[in-house]
A and B are shown apart, each in its own frame.
Chain A
């Protein structure tokens, strides 16, 4: 156990040096590190939101609403399909999870099934192959009744699509806020996690996310005003929408709009704030996709001179007048915009329709002052914890105790180096985990040294006692570290938030402690033996 081959010594020393090198950037400020020559590692430990301050928001998509919307879309398609095929139906309605189609002539069921099955979309993509269908079209339990039911994989794909669209939208909205190194990721089936470092006042963020409802473009009723409609009755096929325009003159008036939108927000490709070339006023330019362009073109051709309404969140955000037919799909909205309001409207437009309503199900925000306090407290606790451990160890084990402490220092540096390298974030529970691993790493040394002392008491020679100490203790160390590792891995696997940060540090700490406490200390002890022998004295174990 005490003989080291040359290459092993080199490997151990190299590992320690690498540890120092990669841990080094953390002891200097960001600016200092940036000025270092290119070959030096520059990665610093990423601090978690609880230490640097920031907001953590977990959003959930409303999958029930998603389903409802999907059925509504499906309804349109079914109606169109049956009409083209000239199959008469008396009603199409959603009932529970399914869409019910009631045919006028039950004998047309077969033909209708055939037509409607054309609507079935395969799930999956061309590369990975398709794996099923999005809906099932089956005859119901009465003659002339057809049931169209979304399949489970179909729903899941729908949710997945909505999630990616929502992430995209949230991302765009947040980036629109300005400086953001925020991360937005999907979590589980229908959740989205936003982490936004440095942000403490989440009101603006929530407002941006909260504006979730859909973007639609509607025609305005040519004659009836909102006041009239409210006093008498709303014309059939129309609905009163409140106004949410920034322009204060129009606030509260409201509009009477066609219930069925002309174009959906999904069809909007882009919207950007810009300036009118002639008047130099802020405007918004927008662009539709082909389907949207076709519908919007047809609509504007028939309604020149009339206003149309842009509805976001069931509220009219703008109602510009159509000056000329917009046939190519691109157009401009002008009006009394300031640079800011033009920008806002463009963002609202661009974010388009969030396909599903997002609800905040968890929020954790830490202010920068608390974060800084936590870092200070963590540093102090870490320092005092390490010092007291070191003093105890040296007082109890003498020179070998010093070696153990050197091992502990290597252990600490390696944790910092590994965490910087891998890019895991350090959280407050992570600091607690760090302090704990220091206390636990010393356990390996305690096991070894107690064993050496025991062997010495049975009358063994120093060298064989030391050798036996390391050999015998190692089995125990491996067993005890592996069991702790089992617990740490489960913590990481099942844990959330704070538990994970803790588990990461604990896991890395267990791995490095075996190296530092067993290998590094053993090398130091082996060198001590060689050195002491070289001085020609009788060997006396200083434990």
Chain B
């Protein structure tokens, strides 16, 4: 039974972005396959259900089950993990004041890289990730930005 579940999980469409916190365990290899988004524990509280979702079907399920207005952080995270990058960029701009700067800068760089995967010079994107790196407060968050630069380099 467990094996069947594993097989089914491995067949599930992997989400490109996965939200993690200091308390979320993840394998180093996952950082190659996904783009991890670090959210601090207090900021993740409002969107706890989004943390650690690794399959697009789980993200869809979350969106279907979620009722009521989404806070700025939750809306931004949900739009990003569900691949609605245009909407995420709108949220990023419209609700900047409500989004913590460490998250804002990381997702500003990520969404810029999604928007223009071939247009923007890599050095320009690196500049955005550098700005994101400089405001991160936790080691995990800094590691994630470093991994993102590797992903940028390898075109992932």
Partners in one complex: no
Q: Using a CB–CB distance below 8 Å, which chain B residues touch chain A?
A: none
What is the interface of chain A, defined by CB distance below 8 A to chain B? none
